[in-house]
A and B are shown apart, each in its own frame.
Chain A
């Protein structure tokens, strides 16, 4: 058995698909690749395969991770070629390596935080005044708590969770000429709770004190995933 981990990017042309679509797409690419795949036992055999963290619809990414178990030994180079040529435009393999430690925890359980960059794209002929947005962000972050609705599966009752502690960092880029306004967000994710970047943006827009008639929209990008090690965040890339 070989446990292979790989990293990939997701570009514009593929950013509109959901996590389930991604899972299906990658599994079918693996099935086409001719690699020696391993299936689970049982009535509905499925591939031994994982993605580190679901990527939301309409988000591009520069450093995502996946892992798959193979029955025979395959070199990372062989894997890169066989798998890589089955991937559609917009999904590019950037690396593959063998995880020797077979007891290493499954990828999804290692992710603790993610860094997002949201870019405010204004339509032609429309200028965004960053001052309003900076003010709104200050207002938002100065709140004691930020409540997000959460539906509990079993009870089907809507409860509210304070997600403020999950926003580790949120800041705008330094003003530069010809560069759109960018909001960087380092957000907690994973089993201990998390907050969606879309929710943070939604709350930010609620804090806009001036009625903004800008024709502008946000484009989201996920820069990096982190693991949470004893309160210190370490990029996933360094831990592997």
Chain B
């Protein structure tokens, strides 16, 4: 930070992990405010170490800061202890690079990755001294924009934002900033500026759309300005090789959750799991070329000194020339002592082979996500792996010397019965027996169970979430089942957290007052179990007349207009309907027949 004033200095000496707030990291860009026509802050509504692990943030930082005449700084949600001090000392939320208050920037862009970070969005606006509601902001206030996965259903946040960008913004953001500079000079006021902006591809200005409700349920939405399109299409990068990508990413002082160099092999995913929002909103699949990946990896390692390189994507083993890529990386990074890793391993022998090839050192745990324990249910969600494949893949992994496995499952999936849940226990029991038979080593199994959350723009968007008592009941089945199985470590997501996520994932604008209320009651960091408080949320819903169950547990009909139907994710509703129907028309093989 260029100028740490004494007040801020004082605060930093009192908080936990002051490195969260000091900026000045290696490769952070200090650009001159006087020379920039547009100044933006990328605001990440979670802690520094979470935000700095987000690859999207690093891509956007590069895309804006590599251009002359514009700058992007960063701000993260302050920890609870820092918030308390900031409020006590009247310290407004500041951007890390310059230490300037957010209110002095032209544009505040929130990265919306997760519904449970929404209260942090409001908290950050408040700490910045920016009016919460878009219609309360004046000409001198920054514009507040949102982007990221949650911008595909931003309705619960609509009144707090001036506009949203749909889809991938690394190419359009610099364009947008240049255009904004022009618009600011041409448009007579903020309202007119937004109206003109609404005509641009991928821009959603929620104040120009008026929703209607029948019996407190969303029923229609109408444009109030003819310049705004009826349906907003998403922005998409066509050629990843030519899109901006960081070659010298920021190296945090504090250890971020993912603290390593990252190259993105491809965007999108061809697997089409029906519960997975990322699989739908990032379509179609676009690859980076091998040459580009190798070049970027070399630059990143040279510029950062990182000791680890991640080959990232939604399903990295689907990259067609993965082995060649790994060979080339090996050659180019020889002597640099860089460890490569593949996140998101598929449960098949090819993936195991590659994981093994990349791995150096002790073979501790491999992580897989079968998601469901019966083949029937896996077909419903389109996670098409057979039980035979699971066994054979894990068999190979043990042969290669791996010590244990972490398996991710989901409960509450559409059509799931209690038998499907018992099958998780049963599958793990059989795996354990098989491992005992096979190996004299002790093979550890840890099972992590999350709760299904129906998401907008997926084939399961019409499906209700399983009710809280049923979720708890199924968690108990697991607890009971695994109790008798020492050596298997069970963990599960808090049911109420997933419930709240479901409320907002398919929510509409009527939720905005409840969100504000919850924030005023002290809700922050709702995704962190140590801060999450359902009683406070219940109170917020009660006081604003919201029935959260009506959101999370509702089954939508194909004829219902959905609150996000005017936002197009690139996949037509007809395709989603077809996929939804296919989920319920799978052939029903007997369980375990493929064994």
Contacts and interface: CB of A to CB of B under 8 A. Distances in A.
Nearest to A43: B361
Contacts of A217: 10, 13-14
Nearest to B303: A32
Interface in A173-224: 217, 219
A31 B14 CA distance: 33
Given A21-B253, A28-B307, A43-B361, 17 more contacts: A13-B1, A14-B24, A14-B253, A16-B18, A16-B19, A17-B18, A21-B19, A24-B253, A28-B26, A28-B304, A29-B305, A31-B306, A58-B13, A86-B305, A88-B26, A89-B24, A217-B14
25 contacts: A13-B22, A14-B24, A14-B253, A16-B19, A17-B22, A17-B253, A17-B254, A21-B254, A21-B255, A24-B255, A25-B26, A25-B253, A27-B305, A27-B307, A28-B26, A28-B304, A28-B306, A31-B307, A31-B337, A32-B304, A45-B337, A58-B13, A90-B24, A217-B10, A217-B13
B4 A12 contact: yes
Nearest to B15: A16
A147 interface: no
A219 B13 contact: yes
Contacts of A14: 24, 253
B19 A31 contact: no
Interface in B1-37: 1, 4, 9-10, 12-14, 18-19, 22, 24-26
B362 interface: yes
A57 B362 CA distance: 33
B302 interface: yes
B19 A13 contact: no
B151 interface: no
A18 interface: yes
Contacts of A21: 19, 253-255
Q: For this complex, into which size category does the number of interface residues on chain A fall? A: 20 to 34
A88 to B, nearest CB: 5
Interface string B360-385: 11100000000000000000000000
Contacts of B304: 28, 32
Interface string A52-81: 000001100000000000000000000000
Contacts of A39: 337
Interface residues of B, number: 28
Interface of B: 1, 4, 9-10, 12-14, 18-19, 22, 24-26, 251, 253-255, 302-307, 336-337, 360-362
B305 A43 contact: no
Contacts of A44: 361
Residue from B253, B255, B303 whose CB has the most chain A CB atoms within 10 Å: B253
B22 A16 contact: yes
Given A217-B10, A217-B13, A32 B302 contact: yes
B517 to A, nearest CB: 35
A28 B4 CA distance: 25
A16 B26 contact: no
B305 A28 contact: yes
Contact of A20 (B9, B251, B255, B360): B255
A45 B337 CA distance: 8
* The 7 A-B residue pairs with the shortest CB-CB distance in the complex, in nearest-first order: A28-B305, A43-B361, A16-B18, A31-B305, A32-B305, A21-B253, A17-B253
B255 A43 contact: no
Given A28-B251, A31-B307, A88 B24 contact: yes
B8 to A, nearest CB: 11
Nearest to A25: B253
Contact of B18 (A45, A57, A89): A57
A4 interface: no
A140 interface: no
A13 B4 CA distance: 8
Nearest to A16: B18
Contacts of B251: 25, 28
A113 interface: no
A30 interface: yes
B13 A13 contact: no
Given A13-B1, A25-B253, A32-B305, A43 B362 contact: yes
A28 B13 CA distance: 26
A16 B10 CA distance: 11
Interface in A129-145: none
A61 to B, nearest CB: 15
A6 B323 CA distance: 42
Contacts of A31: 305-307, 336-337
Interface in A144-178: none
A86 B302 CA distance: 11
Contact of A30 (B12, B303, B305): B305
A115 to B, nearest CB: 21
A151 to B, nearest CB: 19
Contacts of A20: 255
A55 B294 CA distance: 38
A217 B254 CA distance: 25
Contacts of A123: 10
A31 B167 CA distance: 37
Contacts of A16: 12-13, 18-19, 22
Nearest to A24: B255
Contacts of B254: 17, 21
A17 B19 contact: yes
A57 B255 CA distance: 15
A44 B304 CA distance: 19
